[in-house]
Amino acid sequence: MSNIKMLLLTCLVALGMFSSCKKDENDMVTEKSIGTLVAENQNLTLLKAAVVRAGLLETLSGNGTFTVFAPDNAAFQAAGLGTEAAINAVPVEDLKKIVLYHVLGQRYASGAIPDGTNELSSVENINTYVTKNMNGVFVNGAKVTTADVTASNGVVHIVNKVLMPPSGNIVALAQSNPDLSLLVAAVLRASEGTTNVASVLSGNGPFTVFAPTNAAFQAAGFPDAAAIQAADPNTLAGILTYHVIAARVFSSDLSEGAMPATVNGGTVTITLSGGAKVKGAGNTTASNITATDMMATNGVVHVVDAVLLP
């Protein structure tokens, strides 16, 4: 055999061995499922407990293409679910609804999400709102702190808040919160005048409501429901509709100096320095936004610690 033939044969053998090695190497590189990623991440141990309690670990480990917004341990702690015992105290069906609200039935990498707010459906056919802006990616106002953790059956984005699915409209949400009982009383009293505020806030929307707490109403001169019942309903309606924006505005949409228009025709002023605040034209100081992004079927509620005055 000539030297040239021997050289060609040697090169072909070497090339074949190289290709075989590359194929074997690639065969060994397999992505883990979403269920496995959650189970192995030490910053997602409370999410794992919730997934297991809800009976969804097998689902998130199986076939399908999912996007999961995964709340970290700090998010669960902030939601009052900071221990496995607290998670286990939640009824299984309720916990299942909460977990599945974090799961979309398609794969959405962060780079594929369009700018602005995008209405996307969870696997339970409940809308979530994914926003992409200059500050990052958010879902229902919760920030994505780690994006694009790739899995064999989808993608995981770690978020800093537990997402709670809406259970009713804005009026029902307020009625379910004991610290908003005076707001509910004010809405009902205002609805006895020329504007049915309860009907407005139960409508299709979408709306954003800055909801004053009971302490906020008391500081404004309404110590109890009797005081609210004694107030003029039309005056109350003017004040309450000043707390409402005719759009769905999450905390991630708030910007320094913004002056969104309210349903009663006036504007409020947003400031972010030292924490998010909103100020009415008739207020001497701004109200602190103490809780954000409470989801209703027809909008979103932010809790404030002072009544806004037009």
**In the chain, what are the domain boundaries?**
34-159, 170-304
Q: Which residues contact 28 (CB under 8 A, 6 or more apart)?
A: none
Q: Please report the pLDDT score of residue 213 as a whole number.
A: 98
Q: Which residues contact 16 (CB under 8 A, 6 or more apart)?
A: none
Query: Over the chain (310 residues), what is each successive 10-residue block's mean pLDDT?
Result: 45 42 39 94 97 96 94 97 96 97 96 93 95 95 96 96 96 97 98 95 96 98 96 97 97 96 96 96 97 97 97
CA angle at 213 for the pair 211 and 219, rounded to the nearest 5°: 120
- Would you say domain 34-159 falls under CATH 3.40.190.10? no
**What would be the CATH architecture of the domain defined by 170-304?**
Roll (2.30)
Q: Please report the pLDDT score of residue 1 as a whole number.
A: 47
Give the strand order in the sheet containing 299-304. 244-245, 207-212, 299-304, 287-296, 277-279, 269-271
Q: Please report the pLDDT score of residue 31 as a whole number.
A: 82
Q: Please report the pLDDT score of residue 157 as a whole number.
A: 97
pTM attached to this predicted model: 0.87
